[in-house]
Structure 1
């Protein structure tokens, strides 16, 4: 497929499936051999001079060396982490240096904004908070290392749309990079790395030693105009990128890596967000590569904030035990108007999977998917109406989700075990399913029942192998995909400069 953003290399799953739950992906073992990746995203890199003397105050200094990069906003003021006592030896904690630098730069929010540059080095840090009209820029040889000291991870209350933590009923640790109630915030670089050093967190999870929920790598809440781009994120303790209760979010050019047996290392989880663009990302994960969410049972129903107007394109996923794109299972605020195209998956459990259950309420509707290329899959199509984890016994058994308007077209899948497993809810079928122009080639030992369908309604056209009777053939149709553009697709990047290296 011409639009796939990365070469499909034989990389791949055998290397990761042999990793133990304690193992972590290292820069040496994975990143060094990999070619420069985000096609069409990084602007031309210009080296304009040798490294100059770093300035010690935040000001628009004469550029001695600069790198141009794409961003939604450029900044007038710039500083380097070492200006605030940062030490890049991989051993010294830089939590206070990050906090001091960001606090200092926050004074420029109304005067062109501030930019913090993390230069080459290994920068050990605990959690720190971003500010508005701010850019965090990681040099290509910069590595942020998540601290192993729990005291450097502040505790936060549970999310109101979830009612409890995902790992434990109590609170949750703040993410490594966190922000709330922000406007115009950017986390970017020329492929610098954020390493969550998640192995110790995975061990605690498996040993049931957690009283609160593990931290994520990047979480931004109640915010508007967010860009997360052109960085590598590895070994997250749990979810990797989590925008929640936010709008106008662009996530692009990310490389996200975790051992395929690491628990709950979802790649990108847009959660109760509006106007989101996710594109040109390469994800190897122990869970769903992209998981679209909007709250959990009665808490999500009460909070009532959907994820809507979401475009996902040019994504490559490897996740042997999970989905390329999951819708749910926490979808109790609703999921609406999702457009996914030019999706590649290799050795992944399923393509686009819908996960819901009695008690979720709300809806998943108007989902449009086209041009998927899938290789070595358990399922091509998978919908589950009995994904039954609940935050507690208080869910309403009468809160039935409405799953309708689900459209797939132009899919090629090879080495497949099951073509489809589509299980709606008895008395509450999933409706308006349309599947067209699909060619599935089976593994040497496929399951005899290729299309397992219950409580679903819809149509198919030009699909091989032949679908189930609940999705009867309708000649010569193409399932719909919107022609209009979402507002977030029209957002253009500016060319900004990172200087003072």
Structure 2
């Protein structure tokens, strides 16, 4: 297990760099226009941000003062080193879809992307806001997805970063994935919030959930620590992606489509821990998933998790339940319509789960059976050393698995310990029945 000392050293180094700033650049003083949402101002503000980012030198601090600035997307920076960006106010990204910048193939650019930053702090003196105005991009429930599918801008993206700190930022209503940091080496995220809603309901309604692909914290790489954050969205609240190692997620309040590992293809993901998390009125709870064959998910711990009133599966360890097309019930590899819709398929992925521990998990209520545990059935695949220790359901539903409570197959070795109840039918029952 990686050490928190690593992250403490990162934070100290970044703080020292910040305090030794060579210059402070105030966006408004540099010509940024606040309070004007005209298309002309959006383009002008966006162009000024891009030129300012390109001019930053090591030690500089770029400040957005505590005002609201409307900007066009396609903001980009390459190779920032040893700088601080302080979002003290609000950046509202244009919802003019026709004007949004695109490449030659018609694919939209991200709202804000940083390529290869090193030793960079993204912060705020209070709680800065990045507003993606996603509602326009989501469109009418269901119909909007069929029209645009996934050609919508990510809100905040970092590619190939090193020693990055993100803190005190509110990411609001992203059109697509909210926070996408990939190929990173050393990332800490703290005291940040993510929200993507169609309504103000305290649950994920059929209308809300059609804000598809509004992922929360999506990460790949090494040495990641995300803590003391919140997320309410309509897709994976946290998603650990391919080829990731040494990640810790703790003290997170999350509601959406799960504390997720995946979907994973043919890569290896290992040494991932979720702990001390609270999931209120969530859609899914614990969710690990393969989309392809030949992958490995190993050395994973979920510990001290409370899941309240999940509207779908509290625990899912198996294939990705998704469609990657405009046929919503297509199985890629498991249909989101399964098992409710007749003829919908759920196909196990020929990949491996190893050393998966669920410890001190409490699930209160819920509309579905406790879960799905589905491993590959080909030789050398399946699930090994899956341990449920004090995984306790209060008033579980029997729908659709009846007295079995779980769909459970492809498990080579699984053990239930402590006060675990109900016990998955394909596990060895070593619980304290007293």
Specify if TM > 0.5: yes
Q: Deviations over 1:338-391 (max 9, x none)?
A: 01110110111332211114x342211111111111111243321223646569
Task: Flag the 1:187–1:206 CA change in 2: closer, same or farther, 3 A.
Answer: farther
- Cross-structure match for 2:352: 402
How far apart are the structure 2 equivalents of 1:443 and 1:399? Answer: 27
- Secondary structure of the residue that 1:310 maps to in structure 2? strand
Give the distance between the partners of 1:409 and 1:343, measured in 2 at CA. 12
- Asked whether 1:312 is paired with 2:249, we answer yes
Q: Residues 9-34 of structure 1, C-alpha deviation per residue, up to 9 Å, x if partnerless? A: xxxxxxxxxxxxxxxxxxxxxxxxxx
Q: Which residue of 1 aligns with 2:77?
A: 130
1:354 matched to 2:288? The reply is yes
User: Distance between the aligned counterparts of 1:288 and 1:104, measured in 2?
Assistant: 34
Aligned equivalents of 2:297, 2:215: Cα separation in 1: 20
**Shift of the alpha carbon at 1:287?**
0.9
Q: Distance in 1 between matches of 2:348 and 2:106?
A: 28
Contact 1:81 1:97 in 2 (8 A): no
The alignment status of 1:82 with 2:28, answered yes or no, reads yes
CA RMSD of aligned residues (A): 3.1
Alpha-carbon offset, residue 209 of structure 1: 3.0
Q: Deviations over 1:399-439 (max 9, x none)?
A: 93222111110112211342222112222322220110222
Structure-2 residue corresponding to 1:419: 370
Q: How far 1:97 sits from its partner (Å)?
A: 3.7
Note closer, same or farther for the CA distance 1:214–1:438 as it changes in structure 2 (3 Å cut).
same
Name which structure has the greater RCO, CA cutoff 8 Å, separation 6+.
Answer: 1
Q: C-alpha distance in 2, partners of 1:224/1:95?
A: 30
- Select the residue among 155, 164, 170 that pairs with 1:217: 155
1:231 matches 2:169: yes
8 Å CA contact 1:86–1:94 kept in 2: the answer is: no
How much has 1:150 moved relative to structure 2?
4.0
2:130 maps to 194
Q: What's the TM-score, normalizing by structure 2?
A: 0.78
Higher deviation after alignment, 381-390 or 244-253: 381-390
Could you tell me which residue of structure 2 aligns to residue 471 of structure 1? Answer: 427
Could you say if the C-alpha distance between residues 335 and 83 of structure 1 is closer, same or farther in structure 2, counting changes exceeding 3 Å?
same
In structure 1, distance between residues paired with 2:103 and 2:122: 22
CA contact (8 A) 2:388 2:420 kept: no
Deviation readout 1:276-310 (Å, 9 max, x if unpaired): 1111111110111111112xxxxxxxxxxx11111
- Count residues with an aligned counterpart: 375
Alignment partners' CA distance in 1, 2:279 and 2:320: 25
1:78-98 Cα offsets, whole Å, 9 max, x none, are 111112221111414344445
Within the candidate set 352, 362, 381, 2:315 is matched to 381
Q: Is the 8 A contact 1:84 1:101 kept in 2?
A: no
Give the aligned partner of residue 270 of structure 1.
Answer: 219
Distance 1:343 1:312 in 2: 8
The within-5 A match list for 1:231-270 is 231-259=169-197, 260=204, 261=208, 262-270=211-219
